[in-house]
């Protein structure tokens, strides 16, 4: 079970049940939408493998002058061999001769060079892109009896999604710097593997002409499989030598069989495999939007996909959207979802795997993807509503929480560090709730005028903030002897700040203790 072109190395769930497929058969099944799931593929590996399959299939189709993803197994096998210049070793998981390519593993110039490669991992999860500071997110070294596809997924993840990880471990060119991340942002209408594969292939192939005419110097017959060229771990490839659908490798690594088990050996490199550091990840990857302020590929922080980032992506505010972030031509009025996913990297750690799904109904999609007054209206409302949600949190809810936790003082001292953690915990649920509700409320507002839409959103924010305060009163530690005073003062502070900062709500805020203690 070593040859991807002929051996059934992939465990697949199909409509007919479990199956094992080789790589050409997997591509054929995806083209016919006959893949329900890939068994063994971990959640954080899905983005890397999906993009890998799309670039791979796109390169094969482009070389054959075709656009239809539904091709038979023989077509894909021949196309994959052509990409590898006829060298079957490039599609073998383990190749004994290190001067020959192996799957996602570059050739070494001379056998003597291989002596410097040292044991790196005994299990596939130990070479994965997922470093953890304390081994508590996803346990390492757990795949003690791995399947071949476990090694395949780990190699694809490591070689196409890695950032800088200490001296000699450089990151991929499709991200903004060594400490960046490689997000996947796209407009989707189906989450099935085959449907996504076909939809993304169509958009990818439509982008090929633009990529070839762009400033990178890509060639239609350029190198697509970067591991088929020897690498001395010192030299780098130029973008001008590559196909626009090139598949990158970031690390010097080789798999070797010892006593019937696969082991990973590696050696640090003295340079990145592809030389384009100055481009900050702007290399034409259609899954990655461009930050227009500094002309860099989008990088997500440890905070993940905040409502502000998602709003700016939805409205292309400060970002240049690429092909994958838009519906195909002619489908702009159809419902869909903005899918956003990223594994955020820190310095030697993982800062979380983040995903966000923004469902956009047909009418809203029609307004969103076509210039006009409805789009302008949604853009303005969304910007205002984000600001008002933050204002409700910081000027109303937080002030009331400080009053509560400081036992209802005459004057609140905001410098009380001992209560800040409790306040932050109390506002978290409010923030998560309004963020979840934001886009559904925004789309529904298309049927309202500005004043009514604004009033409804503010009242919703008020309810969420009030409920968060009541939850804090019931749950957070309060000085027992002043509990009544704390509650009364906190609720009074909430109401006073609300009336001061949100005068539009003042007329609706007569106290009614019978209505769930709502102001």
The pTM is what? 0.89
Residues 321 and 394 in one domain: no
CA dihedral 300, 301, 305, 311 (to 10 degrees): -70
Contacts for 163 with CB less than 8 Å, ≥ 6 apart: 171, 172, 175, 177, 178, 179, 180, 181, 345
| pLDDT value, residue 421 | 77
| CA atoms within 13 Å, Cβ hemisphere of 164 | 12
Domain check: are 330 and 410 in the same one?
A: no
The answer to the question of residue 363 being in a domain is: no
The neighbour count for residue 88, using CB atoms within 10 Å, is 16
pLDDT of residue 513: 43
C-alpha–C-alpha distance, residues 265 and 258, integer Å: 11
Report how far Cα 312 is from the mean position of its chain's Cα atoms: 16
Query: How many domains does the chain contain in total?
Result: 2
- Give the SS3 label for residue 237: strand
Residues 305 and 418 in one domain: no
If asked whether residues 130 and 276 sit together in one domain, one would say yes
Together in a domain, 52 and 201: yes
Whole domain around residue 258: which residue ranges? 10-358
In a domain, 366, yes or no: no
- φ/ψ of 127, rounded to 5, equals -105, 0
The tens digit of pLDDT for each residue in 202-240 reads 999 999 999 999 999 999 999 999 999 999 999 999 999
Q: State the CATH number of the domain containing residue 465.
A: 1.10.132
Residues of the chain with confidence (pLDDT) below 50 = 132-142, 408, 414-415, 510-519
What tens digit of pLDDT does each residue of 328-380 get?
A: 888 888 999 999 999 987 665 677 899 999 999 998 999 998 889 999 999 99
């Amino acid at each position: 079970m070593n040859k991807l072109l002929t051996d059934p190395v992939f465990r697949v769930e199909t409509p007919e049940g479990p199956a094992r497929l080789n790589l050409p058969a997997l591509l054929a099944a995806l083209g016919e939408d006959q893949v329900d799931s890939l068994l063994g593929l971990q959640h954080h590996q899905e983005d890397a493998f999906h993009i890998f399959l799309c670039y791979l299939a796109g390169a094969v189709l482009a070389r054959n002058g075709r656009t239809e993803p539904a091709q038979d197994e023989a077509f894909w096998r021949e196309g994959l061999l052509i990409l590898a210049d006829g060298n079957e070793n490039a599609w073998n998981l383990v190749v004994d001769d290190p001067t020959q390519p192996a799957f996602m593993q570059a050739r070494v110039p001379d056998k003597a060079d291989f002596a410097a490669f040292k044991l790196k991992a005994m299990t596939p999860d130990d070479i994965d892109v997922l470093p953890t500071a304390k081994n508590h997110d996803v346990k390492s070294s757990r795949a003690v009896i791995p399947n071949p596809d476990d090694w395949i997924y780990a190699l694809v993840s490591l070689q196409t999604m890695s950032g800088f990880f200490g001296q000699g471990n450089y990151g991929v060119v499709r991200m903004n710097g060594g400490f960046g991340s490689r997000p996947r942002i796209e407009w989707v209408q189906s989450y099935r593997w085959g449907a996504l594969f076909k939809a993304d292939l169509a958009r990818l192939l439509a982008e090929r002409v633009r990529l070839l005419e762009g400033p990178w110097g890509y060639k239609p017959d350029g190198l697509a499989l970067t591991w088929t060229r020897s690498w001395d771990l010192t030299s780098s490839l130029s973008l001008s030598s590559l196909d626009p659908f090139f598949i990158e490798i970031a690390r010097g690594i080789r798999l070797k069989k010892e006593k019937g088990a696969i082991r990973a050996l590696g050696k640090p490199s003295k340079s990145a495999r592809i030389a384009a550091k100055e481009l900050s990840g702007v290399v034409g990857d259609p899954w990655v939007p461009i930050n227009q302020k500094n002309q860099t590929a989008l990088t997500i922080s440890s905070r993940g996909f905040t409502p502000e980032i998602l709003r700016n992506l939805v409205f292309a505010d400060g970002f240049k959207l690429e092909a994958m972030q838009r519906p195909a031509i002619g489908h702009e009025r159809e419902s869909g979802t903005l899918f956003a996913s990223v594994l955020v990297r820190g310095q030697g750690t993982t800062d979380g795997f983040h995903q966000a799904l923004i469902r956009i109904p047909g009418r809203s999609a029609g307004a969103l993807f076509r210039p006009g007054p409805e789009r302008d209206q949604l853009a303005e409302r969304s910007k205002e509503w984000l600001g008002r949600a933050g204002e409700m949190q910081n000027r109303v809810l937080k002030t009331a929480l400080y009053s509560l936790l400081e036992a209802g003082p005459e004057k609140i001292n905001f410098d009380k560090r001992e209560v800040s953690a409790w306040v932050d915990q109390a506002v978290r649920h409010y923030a998560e709730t309004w963020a979840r509700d934001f886009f559904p409320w925004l789309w529904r507002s298309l049927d309202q005028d500005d004043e009514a839409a604004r009033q409804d959103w503010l009242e919703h924010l008020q309810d969420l903030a009030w409920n968060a305060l009541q939850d804090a009163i019931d749950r957070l530690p309060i000085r027992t002897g002043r509990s009544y005073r704390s509650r009364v003062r906190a609720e009074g502070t909430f109401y006073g700040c609300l009336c001061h900062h949100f005068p539009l709500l003042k007329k609706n805020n007569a106290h009614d203790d019978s209505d769930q203690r709502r102001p």
